[in-house]
Chain A
Amino acid sequence: DTAVSQTPKYLVTQMGNDKSIKCEQNLGHDTMYWYKQDSKKFLKIMFSYNNKELIINETVPNRFSPKSPDKAHLNLHINSLELGDSAVYFCASSQVGGLSYNEQFFGPGTRLTVL
């Protein structure tokens, strides 16, 4: 059973389009995250949600809007896609509280290519 899953795995789209990436975890965790890994392989946190409440927002453009319908899902919606949004996006989850936040389980990633 996949612990953290993301769909789609690959996403190719045109500049200006709106797209969504879905993430689901079956670990029973209360906290979920989105990370972006750019072409230089730097991995940066974007958001975290704790039981559907936004906890971390790392100065991400407001074209990016995370949505958490329930604690097992954290979707990432991106409006007006730009070339610079091309990256691999990783979803992660963890238990809540203290050091538990630091032991995160990552999904397989979604490679977004904006043309």
Chain B
Amino acid sequence: DAKTTQPPSMDCAEGRAANLPCNHSTISGNEYVYWYRQIHSQGPQYIIHGLKNNETNEMASLIITEDRKSSTLILPHATLRDTAVYYCIVIGNQGGKLIFGQGTELSVKP
């Protein structure tokens, strides 16, 4: 599995966009970028995934660079409830063997 690198922590003002970066320079052609988050004392929650095109859903947007070596998860209008650890995971067709790194602890502040 490709490894990912994320900053350990980030702050964001409530109502502003939160941009969470992830480096995955060793990603292979058949691997996707997935994002999960874990709110304190809860189980992880799937957010979004993509291969090479930008993706958007009701929770977030995912921007993947053209060389696919990095990506950014964007929460367009962060709320206090978005405070969580965000995990970037690179995985292909491996039967769901998700490998969680340390993630980025996002603190949304009033």
B96 touches A43 (CB 8 A): no
CB-defined contacts of B85 to chain A, threshold 8 Å? 41
Count of chain A residues near B, Cβ 8 A: 27
User: How many residue pairs at the A-B interface have CB separations less than 8 Å?
Assistant: 61
CB-defined contacts of A42 to chain B, threshold 8 Å? 100, 102
Question: Is A107 on the interface with B (CB-CB < 8 A)?
Answer: yes
| Residue from the list A56, A94, A104, A109 in contact with B42, Cβ < 8 A | A109
Q: How far is the CB of B40 from chain A (nearest CB, A)?
A: 10
Q: How far is the CB of A32 from chain B (nearest CB, A)?
A: 10
B93 touches A99 (CB 8 A): yes
CB-defined contacts of B93 to chain A, threshold 8 Å? 98-99, 101
List 10 tightest A-B contacts by C-beta distance, closest first: A106-B43, A101-B96, A43-B100, A106-B44, A90-B43, A103-B46, A101-B95, A107-B43, A109-B43, A98-B93
Q: What is the interface of chain B, defined by CB distance below 8 A to chain A?
A: 32, 34, 38, 41-46, 49, 85, 87, 89, 91, 93-100, 102
